[in-house]
């Protein structure tokens, strides 16, 4: 039954978006058919005074990919922006944590607008971290971390500049956003800090 409603949801997603009157209505319908609380969130990501819905969708036939979906309101109509991430399934900020928590909205650049963080597994060694930015109706991946085995990601402002760093626990590596270059810089700590 669960798989059947998943198929229905996938087949009728575009129609559902065409018919929806509000984000709340979509979430109710999607929640009834398929969507679990850990698969979606909402925020006005492009600062146009309308909340976007961000949700993750699994491949209905296998574990070939994850779809990152954003429902955006464009004047009176809702439309879907979609990004396919190959060879992925749900994981968590702590790779060994179960059940999965694959989605997190968190501002990593200090502009008060959250980035979209995805914790996805591709078969071995735990969660890869994908960081997407949604701007001007455009989704862009701004960071991808895939080099650690069973990482536990921690988001803390250790240097007190009001922007959280991405810390790989027990590894002594962190990633810090650099305003000048608008990119994330990988920093190796000499001490094995942040235990
Ligand atoms: Ca918006
Ligand atoms: Ca931001
Ligand atoms: Ca910081």
The H-or-E segment that residue 187 falls in is strand 183-188
CB 152 within 8 A of CB 170: yes
Kindly state the average pLDDT of the residues 72-99: 93
> What's the CA-to-centroid distance between 109 and ligand 2, angstroms?
4
> What's the CA-to-centroid distance between 60 and ligand 2, angstroms?
32
Kindly state the average pLDDT of the residues 58-70: 90
- Is pTM, for the whole model, over 0.75? yes
Ligand found nearest the CA of 46: 1
Question: Taking ligand 1, which is a single-atom ion, which protein residues have CB atoms under 5 Å away?
Answer: 44, 46, 48, 50, 52
> What's the CA-to-centroid distance between 128 and ligand 1, angstroms?
27
**pLDDT per residue over 139-158, tens digit each?**
999 999 999 999 999 999 99
> What's the CA-to-centroid distance between 106 and ligand 2, angstroms?
7
Query: In the predicted model, is pLDDT for residue 2 greater than 80?
Result: no
pLDDT on residue 190: 61
- Superfamily of domain 2-188 in the CATH hierarchy: Periplasmic lysozyme inhibitor of I-type lysozyme (2.40.128.460)
For residue 73, give the nearest of 137, 27, 28 by alpha carbon.
137
Distance CA 45, CA 52 (A): 7
**pLDDT per residue over 26-56, tens digit each?**
999 999 999 999 999 999 999 999 999 999 9
Choose between 189 and 119: higher pLDDT.
Answer: 119
């Amino acid at each position: 039954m669960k798989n059947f409603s998943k198929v229905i949801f996938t087949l009728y997603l575009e129609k559902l978006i065409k018919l929806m009157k509000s984000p709340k209505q979509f979430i109710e319908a999607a929640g009834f058919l398929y969507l679990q609380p850990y698969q979606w969130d909402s925020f006005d990501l492009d600062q146009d005074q309308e909340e976007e819905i961000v949700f993750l969708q699994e491949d209905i036939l296998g574990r070939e990919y994850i779809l990152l979906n954003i429902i955006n309101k464009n004047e009176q109509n809702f439309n879907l922006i979609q990004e396919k991430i190959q060879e992925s399934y749900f994981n968590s900020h702590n790779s060994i944590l179960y059940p999965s928590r694959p989605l997190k909205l968190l501002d990593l650049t200090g502009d008060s607008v959250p980035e979209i963080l995805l914790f996805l597994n591709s078969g071995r060694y735990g969660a890869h971290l994908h960081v997407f930015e949604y701007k001007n109706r455009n989704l862009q991946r701004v960071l991808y971390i895939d080099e650690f085995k069973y990482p536990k990601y921690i988001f803390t402002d250790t240097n007190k500049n009001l922007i959280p760093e991405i810390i790989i626990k027990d590894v002594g590596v962190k990633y810090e956003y650099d305003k000048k270059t608008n990119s994330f810089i990988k920093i190796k700590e000499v001490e094995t800090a942040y235990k």
